Structure 1
């Protein structure tokens, strides 16, 4: 008879190893943290091997633990897929956790095209404000700036770039003599109202712009400060000043003539919008279709 390890302990170990945290595994499995610790200890006693390193601040797998995790994850995922096929509960609904700004300005305007191509696939959007925990308990797919999570596949959709934009009406008010010369525009910035975004740890966007271009803003520089770039873009649309906007957010407004991209330098923020899903799930028909569609969309922009 084939001898198997305690399956409940194996399930708990897989969750703890994937999330790299006992308390997160406890939350995912709806048990206590002490129960997670007990199940892992039971599995270690079964194998007579340590599966986690206990002398580090971060939960890390031993070599034997990493080997077991790789096989346990694949086996449990395969069982879950088989169960779906047997019960007929192979849902075509996919949950996508995505930054609200990226969803509103980039994804949602394009999503109707995907739905026309794949009407049987229902994409449910869950808006996020910060990086979520990558886990099936949160969503099936993610768009965030995470790119190195174990067991996940990542696809870079867009490298964020900030460009100075203003409405044609504001430019007429700001520039008495129209010009497209970069140096003249830089010189005239002291007369402009800067629509500034305070991005917390990243700092003030216009401050970063001035530093990147080795310029010093005027002490009398007029600025309106916002907590989110979407607010700054809306202010630019109603002729209140010049905003530093993510290029993908204002592409449609520039194409329609509501905003003008000024002939001033742009800056890369270092923030990448990455699509992520579990490696073993990227071949599922619904997810594979969404990934292929995303690739085409990112290439076109």
Structure 2
């Protein structure tokens, strides 16, 4: 049995406008044509979808339930049609790691929307690498770009720097030697390096500074940078953090970067987009804005 798409479209328009006449005006058809399609739909469903109370046109319980179920799918169809029709659609979905989105993208995204008010940007979380499905997003920020079929733009190379609370910073005297940090617990994020053992980030940081992490060093272990950062904010110790995982407010009020060397993790972050979508203007302006944002962040971070 075929689905009466025209009748469903007319029904959604009437439900949205609360009026047969207003729906007819927007659809550029007669009011009788709208009434006819609604009658056909009600006959097919075997239920009344609208009821009149005085001069008001209201949805019945069945009509309300039906409208709630079809409203978002119809909106999605309209968005997809617009993208195919215009090519340069202003709707773009960006997927990134959750911690990067929370700490870096969310605080900055309002500036993007102010600069490009006609671009409808939606953020979503990238939970694992390799899942670059079109159903998830139009473009992605990742450390593992696909090898073919995508346009790849380098954003930044990841470095870790020692961060602590302002309270701990006030209690640190000499910082010429990495060993000065051993007066406080070291907060380690295991997930930062693939297949790393606990404390590996600090072992590599000390090695980078020409020292060896003592066996008796007090190291507290966390799975992710986000957790280590929260612990550092609460004066639990000193953490090695990616500056893109800290907000400007945190750096001004809660976390201070110690003037010591950084550790390159070997990871780089990339903006990737399917080659078939790379010419869309909304994606191009988003890519250029992200590159600019990264450059600004690196300039501010440089000591």
TM-score scaled by length of structure 2: 0.63
2:294 corresponds to 1:294: no
Aligned mates of 2:84, 2:250 — CA distance in 1:
46
After TM superposition, give the deviation of residue 296 of structure 1 in Å.
Answer: 1.8
After TM superposition, give the deviation of residue 81 of structure 1 in Å.
Answer: 8.8
Does structure 2 retain, via aligned residues, the 8 Å contact 1:97–1:125? yes
* 1:80-229 paired onto structure 2 within 5 Å: 84-85=84-85, 92-173=90-171, 175=172, 178-179=173-174, 181-183=175-177, 186-199=178-191, 201-203=194-196, 204-229=200-225
Aligned mates of 1:291, 1:90 — CA distance in 2:
14
SS at match of 2:204: helix
After the TM superposition, which parts of structure 1 deviate over 4 Å for at least 4 consecutive aligned residues? 80-83, 88-91
Q: Deviations over 1:36-77 (max 9, x none)?
A: xxxxxxxxxxxxxxxxxxxxxxxxxxxxxxxxxxxxxxxxxx
5+ residue gaps in structure 1? 1-79
Q: Deviations over 1:184-237 (max 9, x none)?
A: xx2323322101111162413212223333422222211211111111111111
Cα RMSD after superposing both structures? 2.6
Using a 3 Å threshold, how does the CA distance of structure 1 residues 120 and 253 change in structure 2: closer, same or farther? closer
Residue among 263, 266, 273 paired with 1:267: 263
Match of 1:276 in 2: 272
Does structure 1 retain, via aligned residues, the 8 Å contact 2:130–2:144? no
SS at match of 2:267: strand
Per mean C-alpha deviation after superposition, the further-off stretch among 244-253 and 271-280 is 244-253
After TM superposition, give the deviation of residue 126 of structure 1 in Å.
Answer: 1.7
Does structure 2 retain, via aligned residues, the 8 Å contact 1:160–1:269? yes
After TM superposition, give the deviation of residue 163 of structure 1 in Å.
Answer: 0.1
Residue among 228, 245, 248 paired with 2:244: 248
After TM superposition, give the deviation of residue 172 of structure 1 in Å.
Answer: 3.1
5+ residue gaps in structure 2? 1-79, 298-303
Q: Deviations over 1:85-115 (max 9, x none)?
A: 2xx7985332211011211111111111111
- Matched pairs, number: 214
Greater C-alpha radius of gyration:
2
Q: Deviations over 1:223-262 (max 9, x none)?
A: 2111111111111111111000002223625651422211
TM-score scaled by length of structure 1: 0.64
Does structure 2 retain, via aligned residues, the 8 Å contact 1:254–1:261? no
